[in-house]
Chain A
Amino acid sequence: MPRFLHTADWQMGRSYSRFDIEDGAALVEARFAGIEKLAQLANEHQCDAVLVAGDVFDAQTVSDRTIRRVFNATKGFSGPWVMLPGNHDAALAESVWTRALRLGAVPDNVHLALQPGVVALESQGLAILCAPLTQRHTYGDLTEPFSHYETPNGLLRIGLAHGSVQGLLSDDIDATNPIAPDRAEVSRLDYLALGDWHGTKQVNERTWYAGTHEAERFRNNDAGNALIVEIAAPGAVPSVTRVPTGKYQWHQWRETLTVESDLAELLKRLEALPDASVVDLRLDGAITLAGEDRLLDALSVAEARFRSIQCDRSNLQLEPTEDDIAALHADGYVGEVIAELRQQQELQSEEARDALAILAGLLKEREQEAGQ
């Protein structure tokens, strides 16, 4: 009963511009660790092969080190790996693949499907029908030849392709590299392993997107999984199991603070998140000076705990209460300035908000000094 692991869209060589260098590096490391995790899962689930449905690499000219590390990471699983060039790493005349071969980095058990055709894994009972991208973009269905590929009897016909299933995903995502939605049926495939969509997604009972093994965007739907596919015999309906592979959870929250309890609620939710989180907060509404103190405290704690937390407060107005102002001992013209800034803030002036925050900070410092 052949069983294999379906994964895709590793996008190795990508770096994270929105994070600090340290956080970005950790996230990159997680992607390498993810491959090791896949190898480990393949072993755990006694898989016969690992199929990678395209975009192993994020670009053609990644560094030699990245290339070597990717193939090193596969070492944990000694069974066959079949890697398919996708749109990011198409099998051009000179490509990341030819470089890998030249470097001698590709282990013997890793099959690079650089030409369209069939990779027959006889001993595993698998015939992999491969539709690699040999150009950066194609506008024809590269899986169409699958129908003509003859495979030895008794081997499962497993399609391996990278592109957009027509009519499934919204049109603006990827109009290139189209794939017919009924490809599995038409080309008599037992299973069609797809890549390109970064979230795990089932198209039909024989067609799946595995999604990326480690999330790298906030907008991914259900990323960070691999699929364990088991097919009893040619023609049998595959049994597909989703196994999590991702280390980090990515969260992007848009919150509006209006009353005191909103802040409390937000802080509670933050606390509930696991440590391996990447958080992006964007706040609007209004907050008192005391509230902002609490928020900053909580963010400071979260920064230490999470992989990364970013908080955009530019649309969050500061609304000092009378108590706040009294506490600042802002008398005379400084008091007038505070009033003026509060007023300007209401006219959507970020500067006024920031200015108010700075002034409040200075006054508070002064108070603290005086207190000492």
Chain B
Amino acid sequence: MKLQSLRIEQLRQFRNPFVLNNLQPGLNLIHGPNESGKSTLVRAIRAAFFERYRSTAVDDLRPWGDSAAAPAVTLEFEHQGEAWRLTKSFLQRKRCDLIVGTQSFSEDDAEEKLAELLGYQYPKRGASKSEHWGIPGLLWVEQGTGQDLEQSVEHAGDHLKSALNSLVGEVASSGGDEVIEAVRAQRHQLLTATGKPRGEYAQLDKDRLEAEQVIAELKERILRYQEQVDRLGKLTREYERTEAERPWEDAQRQLEETRVRYQQVQQLEQAQAQEKATFDQLQQSRRLLEQNKEHQENLSRQLAARKVELDKAQTEVQRLELQAPAQAERIREAKASYEKADQQVKQARLIEARTRLAQDVQRLELRFQQLTQNLAKARDYQQQLEQARQQARDNRIDAAAVQRLKIAERQLDEETIRSSAIATRLSWNLEPACSVALNGDVLQGQGEQQLLEESSVEIPGVGTLGITPGGESLASTRRKLDALQQSVAELRGTLGVDSVVAAEAKLSAFEKAGRAQQHAEELLRSVAPAGIDPLEIEQREAESELENAKIKLSATPEPDAAAQGLELAEAEAALDRAAAALTTAEAQDQKHRTAMMSAQQAQDTAQAEWQRLADEEQSPERQQQLKQIADEMLGIAQKAKSLEDSIERRSREILEARPDLLKQDIERYQSTINNLRQTHEARGRELRDIKVRLEAWGAEGLDEQLNEQEAELERCNRRYLELHRRAQALDLLLKLLTEKRQALTRRLQAPLQKHLDHYLSVLFPQATLEVDEQLRPGAFTRGNELGQVTELSFGAREQMGLISRLAYADLLREAGRPTLIILDDTLVHSDQERLDDMKRILFDAATRHQILLFTCHPEKWQDLGVPPVDIQALK
């Protein structure tokens, strides 16, 4: 199908006729800005085909405000070698004319012809909607719906398939889908989508279970009913038998008999008890008599005992009396020992006192001598000290001055020597008896003198010679020597000595006296540290003390020379022992005397007692009593004997009758009677209970109910099985129909897939896009990506939508169906790269189909290889 021209008039903004001709068999790019009428052209084409010419729902075609308008569209196209011309006008002039080759169609016929050609439907009433658009809905893409493929494919469904049927040479089954729907609906009444029973079918299953439960309950109740009936039969028989036999009467009889026997035994037991009491009384009397007799006999025994006691007391007194002298002796001895020991202690003390006094005298004498000696020594030392002091006083000399003197003299010596060296030596050897005077000094014999000063020698007879020593320092030496000589002389004068030697001797003596003084002082201190006077006082005191001690000693009596000298401690210990012995002896003596007294007392008492008893024993009343007792006892013994025999006899009798067993028998019979009666009564009660119960249960007609329930169950079962079979059959049928239909669809999918792959390889070289049963693009894979087309981005979905539509177009073309493709501003969401790919695809598709591409972005499509048609320019 190739659209050749489009003419519109009085349609929206095209109030005046507008013609779009020279449409190419391949790609046509029609552009114009917004509001230029681009969309109106698309709407006009759609209206020409889809809207019924007589439709009243096409007001949108009317130019704004022009109620008298008759919007008209004229289309010219070629299909399978024939020229088609469609003229359709709406609203004010409702007409439709179609010329196909030489044939003319008008009104509804024309419209049906068109619908059949393109594969779409008209709405029953109102405006045409997408669900009516069929194949054109798939191939004519409205602005912004390029990605919504699914619905379009669905609406195209049957047209697409019938178109494809011819292609694959199959019959898709006329109305097969209807049958499937009918089967599905019928199955749906019985089964859920997952194959579970529903509705009546499910309810029947429940009803069956319920009925089974009710039946089980009824059966259970019937069983109980029957058990009760059986129980009733058994009880009735037993009750009647018991009622006839009356077994408790036997027991009653036996009970009576046993009671009589038991009473007899009880009487025996009473008699027995009485005799036993009598016997006990006799025994009691005998015991009293025996006591009496014993009492009497006791008297003699007591008398003897008293005698023994008396003897014993006497013996004791004698024994104690015998002990008395020894006891006294012992006391005396102890006392003597004590006194002796006491004496010895006194003696020992005396000796000790004297010894101590003698020692004091001795010590004091020693001390006195010591002090006297010390005193003598002290005085001696005192004298030495005085002498030393005197010595020191005599030789007192300044040690420093002595030193200075020694130095001065040595200097003098040294100066003298020096002066001699430089002095003018004058030696002389004179004839005996000749003499000369030197400076007035007579010189004789031989000699020599050094001259330091101008000297003159007078030679008697001769005159005087003057000598003047030469040398430069002779004068200073002379002066120094003079000064030294002066100093030495002064020092010697001060010290009172004439020479150094004397001075040193004096110093030595001084120092010696000092040492002697120190020594004497120390010696004195050693004997009289406090001085001589205190020492003298001490000595006098020692002397007086000594005197005192001597007086005391002489005043102390001399110890007895004969007495043996015991140590004081020893003597004292002996005294302690003696005192203890004495105390013991005294205590024993005391004890003895006490014993003696009590023995005496006891003897007196025993004597008195014995006397009393002896008197009593001998009394005549007692003899009388003894005889009487003996007689009475004899009588009692005889009576007791006869009673014992009687008791023994009766006791055997009672034992043989077994009263304990008789008593048990009575209880046994009693309880037997009770039990028998109770059992019988209980049975009677149970009988009545069961009868009442059975009457009630019987009235319910359980068996009949069961019968009815079982019938109900069987009906349920029957109906259930019918439905079950039907469900199974429907399930099978639906399964088979679906399978076969799918198999067919799969055969139809193959060619579509082929075309789809063709375009897809351009857009996504490595991708696959599978066609599903509804002939829709479904699973999409690209590398590791796997998903549905619907999950892709908007742009990609739009691209996928377009290539799918192109693939359908290819398929339809192969089936000999018209394939006009109209794209209204499509692929606006594609990037440049994809758009380029899509252009290649469109160009390729345009070699097979006529494509009208409307856009308001001509610049995007300028490399499409076709001249663009500008709507504005055509106006």
- Which residues of A are in contact with B by a Cβ distance under 8 Å? 13-18, 20-21, 24, 58-66, 92-96, 99, 102, 136, 314, 329-337, 340-341, 344, 350-355, 357-359, 362-363, 366
Q: Does B376 belong to the interface (CB within 8 Å)? A: no
Cα–Cα distance between A13 and B700 once the two chains are bound (Å) = 13
Residue on B nearest A12 in the bound complex, by CB: B704
Q: Which residues of A contact B170 (CB under 8 A)?
A: 332
Residue on B nearest A13 in the bound complex, by CB: B704
Contact A333–B737 (Cβ < 8 Å): yes
Contact A351–B174 (Cβ < 8 Å): no
A334 in contact with B703 given A94-B228, A102-B695 (CB within 8 Å): no
Contact B178–A366 (Cβ < 8 Å): yes
Q: Which residues of B contact A92 (CB under 8 A)?
A: 229-230, 232-233
Contact B732–A352 (Cβ < 8 Å): yes
Q: Does B702 belong to the interface (CB within 8 Å)? A: yes
Counting chain A CB atoms within 10 Å of each CB, the highest count among B174, B698, B712, B737 belongs to: B698
Q: Mark B696-739, 1 if CB is under 8 A from A, else 0.
A: 01111111101110111111001000000110111111001100
Q: Which residues of A contact B703 (CB under 8 A)?
A: 13, 58-62
Cα–Cα distance between A61 and B706 once the two chains are bound (Å) = 10
Cα–Cα distance between A16 and B711 once the two chains are bound (Å) = 6
13 new A-B contacts at CB < 8 Å, known A92-B233, A334-B737: A61-B225, A64-B701, A94-B228, A94-B232, A331-B174, A332-B173, A340-B740, A351-B729, A352-B732, A354-B729, A355-B736, A358-B183, A366-B179
Q: Which residues of B contact A14 (CB under 8 A)?
A: 707
Contact B695–A99 (Cβ < 8 Å): yes
Contact B701–A332 (Cβ < 8 Å): no
Majority secondary structure, A binding face: helix
Q: Does B186 belong to the interface (CB within 8 Å)? A: yes
Q: Does B171 belong to the interface (CB within 8 Å)? A: yes
**Nearest CB of A to B712, in Å:** 8
Q: Does B466 belong to the interface (CB within 8 Å)? A: no
Contact A61–B697 (Cβ < 8 Å): yes
A314 in contact with B725 given A335-B173, A355-B730 (CB within 8 Å): yes
5 examples of A-B residue contacts, CB within 8 angstroms: A93-B236, A94-B229, A355-B730, A362-B179, A362-B183
Residue on B nearest A349 in the bound complex, by CB: B732
Q: Does B741 belong to the interface (CB within 8 Å)? A: yes
Q: Does B410 belong to the interface (CB within 8 Å)? A: no
Cα–Cα distance between A350 and B722 once the two chains are bound (Å) = 12
Cα–Cα distance between A344 and B230 once the two chains are bound (Å) = 57
- From A95, A333, A344, A353, B229 is in contact (CB under 8 Å) with A95
- From A61, A340, A353, B736 is in contact (CB under 8 Å) with A340
Contact B176–A333 (Cβ < 8 Å): yes
Counting chain B CB atoms within 10 Å of each CB, the highest count among A21, A60, A95, A337 belongs to: A337
Q: Which residues of A contact B182 (CB under 8 A)?
A: 362
Contact A332–B172 (Cβ < 8 Å): yes
8 cross-chain pairs, A with B, having the tightest CB-CB distances, nearest first: A332-B173, A59-B703, A63-B701, A354-B729, A17-B711, A333-B740, A93-B233, A93-B232
Contact A337–B736 (Cβ < 8 Å): yes
Q: Which residues of A contact B736 (CB under 8 A)?
A: 337, 340-341, 355
Cα–Cα distance between A366 and B173 once the two chains are bound (Å) = 13
**Nearest CB of B to A247, in Å:** 20
Q: Which residues of B contact A17 (CB under 8 A)?
A: 707, 710-715
Q: Does B175 belong to the interface (CB within 8 Å)? A: yes
Residue on A nearest B733 in the bound complex, by CB: A355
Q: Mark B856-871, 1 if CB is under 8 A from A, else 0.
A: 0000000000000000
Cα–Cα distance between A205 and B699 once the two chains are bound (Å) = 42
Residue on B nearest A340 in the bound complex, by CB: B736
Cα–Cα distance between A59 and B698 once the two chains are bound (Å) = 11
Cα–Cα distance between A352 and B706 once the two chains are bound (Å) = 37
Q: Does B694 belong to the interface (CB within 8 Å)? A: yes
Q: Does B358 belong to the interface (CB within 8 Å)? A: no
Contact B176–A334 (Cβ < 8 Å): yes
Q: Does B350 belong to the interface (CB within 8 Å)? A: no
Contact A336–B740 (Cβ < 8 Å): yes
Q: Mark B210-240, 1 if CB is under 8 A from A, else 0.
A: 0000000000001001101110110110000
Contact B176–A358 (Cβ < 8 Å): no
Residue on B nearest A99 in the bound complex, by CB: B698
- From A15, A331, A355, B704 is in contact (CB under 8 Å) with A15
Contact B699–A64 (Cβ < 8 Å): yes
Residue on A nearest B178 in the bound complex, by CB: A366
Contact B732–A355 (Cβ < 8 Å): yes
Contact B715–A20 (Cβ < 8 Å): yes
Q: Does B552 belong to the interface (CB within 8 Å)? A: no
Contact A350–B725 (Cβ < 8 Å): yes
- From B228, B708, B741, A15 is in contact (CB under 8 Å) with B708
Q: Which residues of B contact A335 (CB under 8 A)?
A: 171, 173
Question: Considering the complex, which residues of chain B in the window 303-329 have a beta carbon less than 8 Å from any beta carbon of chain A?
Answer: none
Q: Which residues of B contact A314 (CB under 8 A)?
A: 725
Q: Does B261 belong to the interface (CB within 8 Å)? A: no
Question: Considering the complex, which residues of chain B in the window 229-267 have a beta carbon less than 8 Å from any beta carbon of chain A?
Answer: 229-230, 232-233, 235-236
Cα–Cα distance between A299 and B498 once the two chains are bound (Å) = 203
Cα–Cα distance between A60 and B229 once the two chains are bound (Å) = 10
Cα–Cα distance between A20 and B719 once the two chains are bound (Å) = 11
A337 in contact with B737 given A93-B232, A99-B698 (CB within 8 Å): yes
- From B172, B225, B729, B744, A358 is in contact (CB under 8 Å) with B729
Q: Which residues of A contact B712 (CB under 8 A)?
A: 17
**Nearest CB of B to A308, in Å:** 13
A15 in contact with B711 given A61-B704, A340-B736 (CB within 8 Å): yes
